[in-house]
């Protein structure tokens, strides 16, 4: 009888729940919660168009493309209202590198257009790319989504009208400079400006649905359209295909 009691006590000790924690390494969490060391990290660097919702919509798109929850990456918002490519250099360490990302998307041009310094814009992008590549981070450049010249205040300025139009100037002097920096191998491009403009040619009324009444920021429908094209580019990088 005493021997039976001792055996029961030993069994209870061996299978007590507290011993379940004695695992020599963290197990992946299928929902991507703390403890999951396998998830990739994407940081989205940009201006207010990024900050106001781009990462949320891109995350939803990536989750739909991922075959299992464990493949779904963490997407971090590093957008900042009023920011441009030059001022973003000052916060690259804190807002981007500190997260140790696998991929960084870079999207500027809207606020840079107001400053009308395209050469400085391109040089700042070069510096951002150089810093990211030195940290072994994959880079995806994203041209800015279009201005609605009829609704944005800058569209009525004589200096932009003399330059062929506000959005036309941004596309020619800023988006195009970003395009020349993408080589399709080390530096990828998601040309949102061209994608949106092509959609507007097919459906002229779409511009008022995807660009908000302020003439620059995206509506929810606009973010869905952008994420539909950004998601596959990122998914391809993340899956290694």
Q: Which residues pair with 107 in a beta bridge?
A: 46
- The predicted pLDDT at position 240 comes to 81
* DSSP string for residues in the chain: -HHHHHHHHHHHHHT-GGGGG--SSPPPPTT--TT-----EEEEEESHHHHTTHHHHHHHHHHHH-SSGGGPPEEEEEE-TT--HHHHGGGHHHHTGGG--SEEEEE--HHHHHHT-HHHHHHHHHHHHHHHHHTT-EEEEEPPPPP-TTTSGGGG-HHHHHTT-HHHHHIIIIIHHHHHH--SSSEEEE-HHHHHHHHHHH-GGGHHHHB-TTSSSB-HHHHHHHHHHHHHHHHHHHHT-
Domain ranges of the chain: 38-239
Query: Which band of pLDDT confidence, cut at 50, 70 and 90, is reported for residue 185?
Result: confident
Q: What is the pLDDT of residue 40?
A: 95
Select from 3.40.50.20, 2.40.50.140, 3.30.2350.10, 3.40.50.1110 the CATH code of 38-239: 3.40.50.1110
Residue 173 has pLDDT above 80, yes or no: yes
Per-residue model confidence (pLDDT) at position 133:
97
Asked whether 199 and 225 are in contact (CB, 8 A), the reply is yes
pLDDT at 24 over 80: no
Is the pLDDT at 236 greater than 80? The verdict is yes
Per-residue pLDDT at 145 exceeds 80: yes
Lowest mean pLDDT among 38-42, 141-145, 230-234: 38-42
The CA distance from 142 to 217, in Å, is 15
pLDDT tens profile 104-120: 999 999 999 999 999 99
The answer to whether 215 and 152 are in contact (CB under 8 A) is yes
- Distance, CA of 229 to CA of 41 (rounded, Å): 19
Question: pLDDT-derived band of residue 71, with 50, 70 and 90 as boundaries?
Answer: confident
Q: Which residue has the higher pLDDT, 23 or 4?
A: 4
Tell me the pLDDT of the chain averaged across its residues: 88
Query: pLDDT at position 150, please?
Result: 96
Cβ neighbourhood burial of 181 (10 Å; 0-12, 13-18, 19+): middle
Pairing of strands 41-46, 138-142: unpaired
Question: What pTM value is reported for the model?
Answer: 0.84
Long-range CB pairs of 30-37 (<8 Å, 24+ gap) are 30/68, 30/69, 30/70, 31/69, 32/69, 32/70, 32/72, 32/74, 36/70
| Closest by CA position to 170, among listed 198, 190, 145 | 145
C-alpha count within 13 angstroms, C-beta hemisphere, residue 2: 0
């Amino acid at each position: 009888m005493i021997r039976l009691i001792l055996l029961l006590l030993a069994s209870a000790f061996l299978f007590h729940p507290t011993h379940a924690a004695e695992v020599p390494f963290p197990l992946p969490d299928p929902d991507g919660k703390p403890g999951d060391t396998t998830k990739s990290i994407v940081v989205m660097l940009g201006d207010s168009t990024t900050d106001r919702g781009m990462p949320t919509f891109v995350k939803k798109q990536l989750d739909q493309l991922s075959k299992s929850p464990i493949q779904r990456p963490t997407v971090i918002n590093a957008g900042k209202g009023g920011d441009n490519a030059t001022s973003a250099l000052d916060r690259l360490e804190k807002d981007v590198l500190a997260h140790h990302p696998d991929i960084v998307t870079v999207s500027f041009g809207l606020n840079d257009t107001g400053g009308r310094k395209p050469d400085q814009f391109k040089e700042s992008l070069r510096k951002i790319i150089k810093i990211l590549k030195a940290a072994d981070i994959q880079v995806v450049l994203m041209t800015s989504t279009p201005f609605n010249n009829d609704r944005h205040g800058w569209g009525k300025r004589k200096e932009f009208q003399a330059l062929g139009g506000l959005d036309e100037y941004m596309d020619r002097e800023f988006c195009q400079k970003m395009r020349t920096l993408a080589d399709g191998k080390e530096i990828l491009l998601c040309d949102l400006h061209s994608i949106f403009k092509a959609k507007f040619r097919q459906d002229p009324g779409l511009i008022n649905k995807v660009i908000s009444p302020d003439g620059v920021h995206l509506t929810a429908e606009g973010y869905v359209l952008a994420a539909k094209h950004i998601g596959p580019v990122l998914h391809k990088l993340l899956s290694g295909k």
